[in-house]
Amino acid sequence: MKLISKINYNFISIAISIFFVGGIVFYIMLRSLMLDQTDNQLIESKNLIEIKFEQFLQQPNRYIWKDGLISISLKDKTEDNSTIISDTLINISENNIASAYRKIEFQHKHNNQLYRIKILKELSFTDNLTLNIILLVGGLAIFFTMSFFIVFRIVANTSLLDFYETIKALKEFKIAEPENIKINHSDVDEFEYLNEVITLITSKIQQDYKSLKEFTENASHEIQTPLAIIQNKVEQLIQGEEISEEQMKSFSEILDATSRLSKLNRGLNQLVKIEGGQYIHTEKIDIQNIICKNIDHLGDMLLAKDITVIKNFHSHNKVSINPNLAELLIFNLLKNALMHNVKGGKIIISITDNEITITNSGKDEALNINLLSERFSKGDESKSLGLGLSIVQKICRYSNIDLSYHYLHHMHTIKLVFK
């Protein structure tokens, strides 16, 4: 939920609660005031009747006077002499519908005769007036609430433009670019302070990344030099005449270890570049040509393990990806399918409109999907899977490619879906 929506939701919830409680209180107070006014009118009528009782006595026992009813009846004995004001329902219409009245009932003595007098005033006008006032006030409250809601939303959206500009600048920020993040000035103090903090933090991140990048490049370069010297010296020793079989085995292990260390160094360097976002440029790449080229490069290794490559190319579409990443992606996938294959096995490569699947034979159990992309994860033979699949996963995340793996009928399949 957006911040504005959250504020609006809370505002509407609180406003509805206040209006509900306030409406009940307002109705009770308004009706009480209206009844007080009606009671005052009844008391005034009572006082007038007591003053001019002789005139009223000449009228029928029950008759309409002004906007109310008057009833005068003779009593034989003294009853309660108090004045009573109450509500009552009286049916005086032809449709048998009772109407609400406000009644004042009192006694009056005239010529040694006791009379019971009732004055009734219909409440329909009072109730209608109360209802109209409540509807008017409620309508005004709703109008002002909606007006405030609309004005607040417009003002909030306008005020948050600087915030969204800052978010946009953060999304477009590239840590590998030499330029600092560019954020527009804001006339809101809080947003301006936020922009200053973001600018300071991103600048520090760029400095740290630059230092890490330089260290990685320097370390990679410095490691390659002694490795090359070690390989060269070992190869010279191997070419010597007085080399025993045990020494030859030791030298081969040294060469294998230095070769793996050299590849590991290059792999780590590639991972740092991918994670640092150095492969920004993209173009339409013919994946089919890259696959065929890498198969040719791995030809000797495929021949040594007697592996058959089956190509099912059903499409020749080009995909948008960085050329260097495309080469790394296909090479690591094919090399993984080769290195973890069995002698006399096969590799099946299928290409459709936006999908590439590489299926290879291998050991008769599925790989641990949780360890598939971990660096240096171990197989059952305690042989490291290396950085290949980790690089593949990084490239897929960076290039917005869906990567999946499944195992079926002794065949391992890795599937790429280009979006």
pLDDT of residue 375: 45
Mean pLDDT to the nearest integer, 41-64? 78
Mean pLDDT to the nearest integer, 177-197? 85
Q: How many whole angstroms separate alpha carbon 226 and alpha carbon 258?
A: 10
Residue position matching structure tokens 């909030």:
156
- N- to C-terminal Cα separation, the chain: 28
Residue partners of 193: CB distance under 8 A and separation at least 6: none
State yes or no: pLDDT of 49 exceeds 70.
yes
> Smallest Cα–Cα separation from 397: which of 296, 325, 313?
325
This prediction has a pTM of 0.49
What integer best gives the mean pLDDT of the chain?
81
Position with higher pLDDT, 386 vs 178:
178
CATH number for the domain whose boundaries are 283-418: 3.30.565.10
Tell me the pLDDT band of 350, cut-offs 50, 70 and 90. Answer: very high
Q: How many whole angstroms separate alpha carbon 308 and alpha carbon 299?
A: 10
- CA angle (47 as vertex; 43, 50 as ends), nearest 5: 135
- Of 21-25, 54-58, 62-66, 83-87, which gets the smallest average pLDDT? 62-66
Query: pLDDT by residue (tens digit) across 288-342?
Result: 999 999 899 888 889 999 999 999 998 877 888 888 888 888 988 998 899 889 9
Burial class (CB in 10 A: 0-12, 13-18, 19+), 274: buried
pLDDT of residue 384: 43
Q: How many whole angstroms separate alpha carbon 316 and alpha carbon 287?
A: 8
Return the structure tokens found at 106: 């009192």
State yes or no: pLDDT of 347 exceeds 80.
yes
Q: Contact, 396 vs 346, CB < 8 A?
A: no
pLDDT of residue 276: 67
pLDDT of residue 307: 92
DSSP letters, 348-376, are: EEEE-SSEEEEEEE-SSS---TTTTTSTT
Mean pLDDT to the nearest integer, 363-368? 74
Return the structure tokens found at 87: 């509500």
- Domain boundaries for CATH 3.30.450 within the chain: 3-155
Q: Contact, 42 vs 50, CB < 8 A?
A: no
Query: pLDDT by residue (tens digit) across 203-218?
Result: 898 888 888 778 877 8
- Domain boundaries for CATH 3.30.565.10 within the chain: 283-418
> Residues of the chain with pLDDT > 90: what percent?
10
CATH number for the domain whose boundaries are 189-275: 1.20.58
Mean pLDDT to the nearest integer, 109-131? 82
Query: pLDDT by residue (tens digit) across 368-393?
Result: 655 554 544 444 443 444 566 777 88
Mean pLDDT to the nearest integer, 407-418? 89
Q: Contact, 114 vs 75, CB < 8 A?
A: yes
> Smallest Cα–Cα separation from 341: which of 366, 367, 307, 368?
307
Tell me the pLDDT band of 79, cut-offs 50, 70 and 90. Answer: low
> Smallest Cα–Cα separation from 37: which of 157, 156, 123?
123
Tell me the pLDDT band of 123, cut-offs 50, 70 and 90. Answer: confident
> Residues of the chain with pLDDT > 70: what percent?
88
State yes or no: pLDDT of 402 exceeds 70.
yes
Mean pLDDT to the nearest integer, 48-74? 75
Position with higher pLDDT, 68 vs 103:
103
pLDDT of residue 379: 46
Tell me the pLDDT band of 117, cut-offs 50, 70 and 90. Answer: confident
CATH number for the domain whose boundaries are 3-155: 3.30.450
pLDDT of residue 62: 63
Tell me the pLDDT band of 92, cut-offs 50, 70 and 90. Answer: low
- Domain boundaries for CATH 1.20.58 within the chain: 189-275
Q: Contact, 183 vs 195, CB < 8 A?
A: yes
- Of 5-9, 11-15, 139-143, which gets the smallest average pLDDT? 5-9
Q: List C-alpha distances in Å: 296 to 299, 351, 370.
A: 5, 18, 32
- Of 117-121, 124-128, 347-351, which gets the smallest average pLDDT? 124-128
Return the structure tokens found at 116: 């019971």
